Structure 1
Amino acid sequence: MRRAALQACRSVRRPVFRKSVRPPISYASLGGRSRNQRTTHQVLQSSMQLRTFTYALVSTAVATGAYYAYRGDSQSPLEANSPVASVSPAGQQTPGYSPSNVYSAAATARQTAEKEAEDAGSKVLVIAQGEVFTGTLPPNAPLSKATDDQGRKVVEMLTPEQATQKLRRNEESWLVGRGKGVVRYDVVQIPSNDPIEDDHAEKIIEVPQSVAFSEDGTNSSDWMFWGVFDGHSGWITSAKLRNSLISFVARELNSTYKSALADPSLQLPSSDSIDKAIKTGFLRLDNEIVNESVQKVLKAQSKRVAAELLAPALAGSCGLLSFYDSNSKLLRVACTGDSRAVLGRRGANGKWTATALSEDQTGGTESEAARLRKEHPGEPDVTRNGRILGGLEPSRAFGDAVYKWSVETQKKIREVYFGRSPPPLLRTPPYVTAEPVITTTKVEPQKGDFVVMATDGLWEMLTNEEVVGLVGQWLEEQAENKNGQSTANSWLKSWFSQQKGLPVDKNGVETDKTGQRAPIRQRQWGVKGTEDERFVVEDKNAATHLVRNALGGKNQDQLCALLTLPSPFSRRYRDDLTVEVIFFGEGENSGSVKLNREASAPHEVKAKL
């Protein structure tokens, strides 16, 4: 049977393989840990760098071939007369063919192969031995998803229309008609993990005059919160933050504001006391997750209780929370971990400037590494390869109890219930803290300021300037009414610029990049082209607009492929994505917050008030 199948497949055109000539990029340069004694080909595979992926992904010379000639299995989902094309990894010999036969046929077969690829049916991705390649499936071939006994998986490629549907599946847009300085915010999530490990939360709290003094004479003010939470080792901790973090912080702020009003010499609490309240909210929640859970488990002596209470402690999550006081017009950004917030502000020249409102907190951030060395003297490996004790990348996080519990506590939990082994280098915990670093910015709603908050999945793909410029480009598109005018964007002003490229002032941004990691995926994917060649405006939701351009923009092959990749393989090429864009302005005062349906997914979304 194997010989018959192989002969049947060889009657079809042999595949044409093209070898990538780009130099390899080491795994360490992409944020991973290097290993010893790698060959060049091993580096390309283990780093999962996308130069070979992009080459195979975007190349028009996609040949047809006999996929199941690899197996010779007549019972396979893809029969011998239903070939799938693929492009071989650089330097890899395909079973069943000799290199001389393959490459000698390449020159004569390329043009025919290109024509056949154009006329073929479905595009597919072939995942084999840690690499991804494009291919085509002839019309009417019976493809869904299939994995053979050598670990090759074939996945039908999303069309551009299907990719757009996936991008917009979880988008939300809210119009804030409270006349308090915020006019709108947009949110989107794109999973890579299954289920997504990111989460987010938003809340607007109407504060009575008995709590907060109102400068405009009204009897209330607004506290507005936006949070994005980047989970790791599971989704449990980020879900805990979604449910609890804003409440913990608001409770502390409430006490602080009340104490200030009780003092006749004060009208508002001091800036330091507000920062302290936010930090206390963060730390109290983390203490509940990490320490109080242990006390409750030991008291209950139940494995079921242990499973429920210890899960958020054993997993982890970064937390990024923005707090806006509508009276003072002050925006405080509290960052625990490596999510990031960036302010976009329009200058007199009509361009936008990008200002980072947070610092990426990892073992590779010099300020964080210095702090850890000071707190743990005599431990040279407190950070190794940019990671805490060589393992965890964020230096601040909720949960991650194995970096916070004592060795004795971890041993007791493992013996009686369950748990993870402590890191081998653990000596003097805790090494990781949930205490945030807070920045304060005076917002200028009259200038149309906006803030982008996102998990690190976005910042791996785009620079601060590109993100701010893309939102500025999106604003111009909406203001110019190119896609139709509606009440949803009536608050926009006409800020249109005729200059090519993104409307961002690259000379006006901060030059100090300490703590701001570069977008490693651009290098990994081999991204090229000018801004006009790369970016596109197709979405009504500003957050979706950012994600579309982060994943490919005008390069629809790359966009479709990255959204097609199944979990967990997709995680090698992109992270979970959660993006929020907050627009400040002087909008209408209807007193309501309503869903902006033209920029939201069609499913029901709960009201925010």
Structure 2
Amino acid sequence: MASHGFIRRRPRLVAVTRLHYQPLPRPRFSTTETRKTSSPSAVGTGAVSFAAGLAAGWALYRNGKSDKRVASLETPLTTIITPDLNYLGTSNQIAYTNPPTLEDVTQKLNEHKFTVRGSPGGIDRYDGAQLASNSPCEDAFVHGSFSNPFGAGDEDSKWMAWAVFDGHCGWQLSNLLKTQLMPFVRRSLSGVKPTDKSEVSEEAVQRALKHSFTALDDALVKSATAIIESDLPFAVKARQLEPALTGDCRAVLGQKAADGKWLTTALSEDCTGATPSEIARIKAQFPDEPDVVQGGRVWGLQPTRTFGDGMWKWTAALKKNLRYHFNGLSLPSQTRYKNYKDGPYVTAEPLVTTTQIPDPKEGRPSFLILATDGLWDTMSSEQAVDLVGKWYDRQQKGAVVQPEKRTEDFGPVVLGWKQQCKYEERKATFRDDNAAVHLVRNGLGGADEEMVRGSLAFRYPNSRDIRDDITVQVVFFGPVQ
């Protein structure tokens, strides 16, 4: 970094752009030492650059009584009022920013919460919340209703949709999917026709959903060569090649059994390099590449079914072109993985399941939890269902949701590589009126308020070592107080 100081002595102007010796008239430079001056008209500036975890430039101008001329610059400046630095005080103590208070914690957890009631299809209520760790947050979400894709137009026939998107290595694609995925889904579903006069089969709906995902991903990934070879301006090409990566989400269903217990049903399978079925699928696809899956990752990538991730789908020649001319990522490559070839090694084709929701009128309420891996890093599916189930039961009994008075000492807070944020049943708390916020709080420490405060005291990028972005939606298929 270059530091700039400007000195003017009758009538000479000298611009110092580097800190080196020049045979100039000798002005007095201010340093950290106190120096006496023999002339009341001395004029001086100081310029210092240093690095101590960051780069900084510093300059000081001192004006004497009999010489009030100032430096003139060759480039014009916007006129502003000179800031008064006296308000900073004269202390030799560092003033650190304060960590969040308990009130700050509650405000932060509720900052992006929402509750929607009375939705089409008999959805009584659904809650949502988001807590960022990255800056900006790499998660995104969407929720709402859309017209029946098979033609019926009455209110009761409307469909509902919820989605969460977990971006990795950036927020670009998750934000793009927020607006682009549903149009692809609707278009694909509208093309489904029943084989006879009966309703459209579940198999046809699942095929349409798979097609919508892969069609969108093809538009993102397979269009790269066409974009590069087009006549578009460079800036437009760079922006269209930018959307990158998503993955790592899960959906689970909680159902109340006849005995009052809450049962957990997985609605999605974690598609990662640690999932046995995914390992078998990929190794069967690439039998001549025995190292394709190592340490729970596919050539270093954890998710195995993702949008984007072109670096695991493009040929080596295309990746080299993108790297050299459009600042593309350099990994994975044969430099790091000697047996790496061209793939494509991951896919956007989803695993689709259909699950019958029990009728709430039969006394078997149920709910859906949809969340990014920021939540699942802190708790299991069963723990999440248990937390929401107990929260639901309290709501139905009209119990006031409020902080619980605990006397238990949970011990010292440890957050780092030794221990990241996690849920512990003994620390469960029920103080939030939003089910999604309830899950987020308990994932960060629950009733252990000092752990929750500690988890929010870390800011990006240090926060990424203990917690990920968390996005949660909880949908209730039954009455909620």
Q: TM-score range by the shorter chain?
A: 0.7 to 0.9
Tell me the equivalent position of 1:582.
475
Partner of 1:474: 391
| Counterparts of 1:341 and 1:277, CA distance in 2 | 20
Task: Give distance in 2, aligned partners of 1:457 and 1:252.
Answer: 30
Structure-1 residue corresponding to 2:245 = 316
Change (3 A) 1:440 1:377: same
Partner of residue 365, structure 2: 448
Pair 1:162 & 2:104 matched:
yes
Partners in 1 of 2:147 and 2:326 — Cα distance? 44
1:296 to 222, 227, 242: 227
Q: Which residue of 1 aligns with 2:313?
A: 404
1:366 lines up with 2:276 in the alignment = yes
Structure 1 Cα separation of the partners of residues 389 and 438 of structure 2: 11
Distance 1:143-1:449 versus aligned 2 partners, 3 A rule:
farther
The residue correspondences of 1:490-509 to structure 2 (distance < 5 A) are none
User: Which amino acid in the other structure matches residue 372 of structure 2?
Assistant: T
* 2:176 maps to amino acid: K
Distance, in Å, in 2 between the alignment partners of 1:267 and 1:346 is 32
Q: Secondary structure at the match of 2:383?
A: helix
- Which residue is equivalent to 1:559? 452
Amino acid at match of 1:548: R
Q: Which string of whole-angstrom CA distances, capped at 9 and with x for unpartnered residues, describes residues 407-437 of structure 1?
A: 1211222343331224123303100101000
Q: Does 1:175 align with 2:108?
A: no
Contact kept, 8 Å, 1:460 with 1:521, in 2: the verdict is no
**d(CA) in 1 for partners of 2:325 and 2:458?**
40
CA deviations over 1:234-258 (Å, ceiling 9, x no partner): 00010111111111111111111xx
Write the mapping of 1:339-354 to structure 2, written as runs, cut at 5 A. Answer: 339-354=249-264
- Cα distance change, pair 569–361 in 1 and its aligned pair in 2 (3 A): same
For residue 439 of structure 1, give the secondary structure of its aligned residue in structure 2. Answer: coil
In the alignment, the residues of structure 1 paired with residue 433 and residue 128 of structure 2 have an alpha-carbon distance, to the nearest angstrom, of 11
Change (3 A) 1:277 1:575: same
On the 8 A contact 1:297/1:309 being kept in 2, the answer is no
Q: How far apart are residue 586 of structure 1 and its match?
A: 6.3
| Residue aligned with 1:582, SS | strand
Q: Which residue of 2 aligns with 1:427?
A: 341
The aligned residue for residue 306 of structure 1 is 237
Match in the other structure for 1:524: 419
1:196 equivalent in alignment to 2:196: no
1:388 corresponds to which of 289, 295, 298: 298
Letter aligned with residue 211 of structure 1: G
SS at match of 2:419: helix
CA distance, structure 2, for counterparts of residue 553 and residue 522 of structure 1:
20
Selected match of 1:570 from 463, 469, 475: 463
Q: Distance in 1 between matches of 2:351 and 2:245?
A: 18
Superposed displacement of residue 366, structure 1:
1.2
Is 1:144–1:156's contact at 8 Å kept on the other side of the alignment?
Answer: no
CA distance in 1, matches of 2:322, 2:401: 60
Contact 1:172–1:188 (8 Å) recurs in 2: yes
Contact 1:193–1:568 (Cα < 8 Å) also in 2:
yes
Aligned counterparts of 1:434 and 1:158: Cα–Cα separation in 2: 40
Distance 1:526 1:421 in 2: 32
Contiguous gaps of at least 5 residues in structure 1: 1-73, 76-139, 146-154, 319-337, 486-519, 588-595, 597-609
CA deviation vs aligned residue, 1:449-491 (integer Å, no higher than 9, x gap): 1010111111111111211111112112222223289xxxxxx
Post-superposition offset of 1:523:
8.3
**Cα 1:143/1:190, change in 2 over 3 Å:** farther
Asked if structure 2 preserves the Cα contact closer than 8 Å seen for 1:207 and 1:222, the reply is yes
Task: Provide the C-alpha distance between the structure 2 equivalents of 1:548 and 1:376, rounded to a whole number of angstroms.
Answer: 43
Change (3 A) 1:415 1:270: same
Go from structure 1 to structure 2 and tell me whether the alpha carbon gap of 1:448 and 1:522 turns closer, same or farther (over 3 Å shift): farther
Give the deviation of 1:220 after TM superposition.
5.2
The residue identity in structure 2 corresponding to 1:435 is E
Change (3 A) 1:396 1:144: farther
Between the aligned partners of 2:94 and 2:151, the Cα distance in structure 1 is 63
2:176 to 221, 226, 240: 240
Aligned: 1:252 with 2:188: yes
C-alpha displacement at 1:525, in angstroms?
4.5
- The answer to whether the 8 Å contact 2:378/2:423 transfers is no
Change (3 A) 1:381 1:581: same
Cα distance change, pair 414–349 in 1 and its aligned pair in 2 (3 A): same
Q: Which amino acid aligns with 2:472?
A: V
TM-score normalised by L of structure 1:
0.58
The 1:379/1:528 distance shift into structure 2, 3 A limit, reads closer
Give 1:181 deviation, angstroms: 2.7
CA drift of 1:144 comes to: 4.9
Task: Provide the C-alpha distance between the structure 1 equivalents of 2:225 and 2:161, rounded to a whole number of angstroms.
Answer: 30
Distance 1:387 1:181, change over 3 A: same
Highest Rg: 1 or 2? 2
Cα distance between partner residues in 2 of 1:304 and 1:370? 41
**Superposition pairs of residues 195-274 of structure 1, within 5 angstroms:** 195-207=136-148, 211-212=151-152, 221-256=157-192, 259-260=193-194, 265-274=196-205
- Conservation of the 8 A alpha-carbon contact between 1:461 and 1:550: yes
One-letter code aligned to 1:569? N
Matched residue type, 2:445: G
Tell me if structure 2 keeps the 8 A contact 1:376–1:428: no
| 2:353 paired residue among 439, 443, 446 | 439
- TM-score of the aligned structures, taking structure 2 as reference length: 0.72
Check conservation: 2:319, 2:328, Cα contact below 8 A.
yes
CA deviation after TM superposition for structure 1 residue 359, in Å: 1.0
1:375 maps to which of 281, 285, 289: 285
